[in-house]
Homo-oligomer: A and B are copies of this chain.
Amino acid sequence: MVDVARLAGVSLKTVSRVVNGEPHVQRAMADRVLAAVAELGFQRNHMASALRAGRASATIGLIIEELANPFYSTIAHVTAEMARERDTLLLSASSEEDPVREEQLLRDLCSRRVDGLLVVPAGCDHSFLNSQVEMGIPVVFLDRPGTNIEADAVLLDNRGGARNGVRRLVADGHRRIGVLLDTVDVHTMRERLAGAQDALADAGIGYDGALVRGGVRDPATAAAAVADMLTQPSPPTAFLALNNRITVGAVQELWRRGSDAALVGFDDFELSHLMPRPLTVIGYDTRELARRATQLLFARIDGDRSRPRTVVLPTELLDRGLAPAR
């Protein structure tokens, strides 16, 4: 900017005024400045400009579990779109479900003075964010609530969804229902499992530990778990898969074996209606989830100081049948 000022023969401040479109600059002088800007290829330094007077950085931070997962990339996309309307860019990072990494990333984002944070939490303690919130960086949690912190959250009705899924199976006469889940360390999984158990209890079906299989991390382990459970004495006649990766593995294994066990999966996914066997899923509106959370965040950024809210969005049973005809 100093160079531009020198070349145009004006003061630094005049260049600043022209570059920012402020009034009170004579036409001729503005033209001279613009010519110098063009000649030198000058470009305003956004960081310096944000630094001065602590203005907003026009950036928001997004922490998700894994960007390559369609659920999270949809969230990232919706948020980025909404941000763009405010000339704000999105800094996104994956926690990979690692609490340590999550904290590092969050601290990094804070030290970059993002205008706000959108977090799908992996950790079990977010108290370190309290000071950031006080210092003016609002946080909205997405999909799962934060822990040890009072902040907005936009969640899904995981418990109700799983309950409806199991009800559907029970209504079809199933009594031995295998439940496949990742880990109860994750809030969503705990809720979904609780919902499944609600429905079983409602139906007067007792708890059978052999029918609940944890530690199912991906399609391959899901397939293995299904195979194992089906070869036990008195195998399940139906399965509830508590996320989409598990569902995919289960579909694949049931199909491979030609099994007619029933299957309901949590999370809809693209092409789920094209699976080689009927598949009923518990779906929800991922875009709406992201939309609500982003709205809430921008409201906070714009100064909304009301009490933290928790929004719970409904799920929907997409009934496409349960099992292949015998």
Contacts and interface: CB of A to CB of B under 8 A. Distances in A.
Identical copies of this chain, number: 2
A201 interface: no
Given A73-B67, A90-B93, A274-B255, A111 B43 contact: yes
A6 interface: no
Given A73-B70, A90-B91, A252-B274, A113 B80 contact: no
Interface residues of A, number: 52
Contact of A73 (B51, B68, B81, B109): B68
Interface in A75-92: 76-78, 80-81, 84, 87, 89-92
Interface in A34-80: 41, 43-48, 50-51, 57, 59, 66-70, 72-74, 76-78, 80
Nearest 6 pairs of A and B residues by beta carbon:
A73-B73, A68-B77, A67-B77, A41-B131, A46-B111, A46-B112
Nearest to A47: B47
Given A89-B93, A276-B274, A66 B77 contact: yes
A69 B92 CA distance: 16
A17 interface: no
